[in-house]
């Protein structure tokens, strides 16, 4: 992928962070730019899947991503970097708001979500409340 791409979400594996019908904007990314909490989109068979990066191993030529949906109780799933389509740069919410994933607040929220998943519903609610208090 060499440019931005727009995709509609479906399913519930990333609830409550991503809800069915929301749109995600993808951009390319190099292995060294990936960090825990980043939302990555990869190809699994014929489907595109968006999950949260828990950790990665290796470097550029032999990088392996370990990802998990926020609702999952299972261990992170290994995905070869070559299967990656891109990272989520922004989320267009159903209410019209846009969340920019590279902003400092969303980088922190995404990082914290790695450690709180599958309790991310509670965590996201608490972080959103904290964000409103800081305004």
Enter the pTM of the model. 0.79
**Backbone angles phi and psi of 87, in degrees to 5:** -110, 155
Residue 72, pLDDT score: 81
Structural domains of the chain sorted by starting position, each given as residue range(s) with its CATH number in brackets:
5-134 (2.10.109.10)
**What is the spatial distance between Cα 30 and Cα 45, in angstroms, rounded to a whole number?**
22
Residue-wise pLDDT tens for the chain (135 aa)? 456 677 778 888 887 788 888 999 999 988 888 889 999 999 988 888 999 999 888 876 688 999 998 888 778 899 999 999 999 999 998 888 898 988 888 888 888 888 776 555 455 556 666 666 766
Q: Are 26 and 48 in contact (CB under 8 A)?
A: no
Q: Which phi and psi (to 5°) does residue 133 adopt?
A: -65, -30
């Amino acid at each position: 992928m060499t440019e931005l791409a727009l995709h509609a979400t479906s399913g519930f594996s990333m609830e409550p962070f991503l809800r069915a019908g929301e749109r995600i904007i993808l951009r390319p990314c190099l292995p060294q730019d990936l960090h825990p909490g980043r939302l990555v989109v990869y190809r699994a068979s014929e489907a595109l899947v968006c999950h949260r990066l828990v950790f990665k191993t290796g470097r550029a030529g032999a990088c392996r991503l370990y990802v998990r949906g926020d609702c999952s109780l299972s261990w992170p799933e290994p995905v070869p970097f070559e299967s990656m389509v891109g990272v989520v740069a922004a989320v267009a919410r159903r209410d019209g708001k846009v969340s920019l994933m590279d902003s400092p607040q969303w980088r922190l929220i995404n990082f914290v979500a790695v450690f709180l998943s599958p309790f991310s519903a509670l965590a996201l609610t608490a972080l959103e409340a904290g964000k409103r208090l800081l305004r």
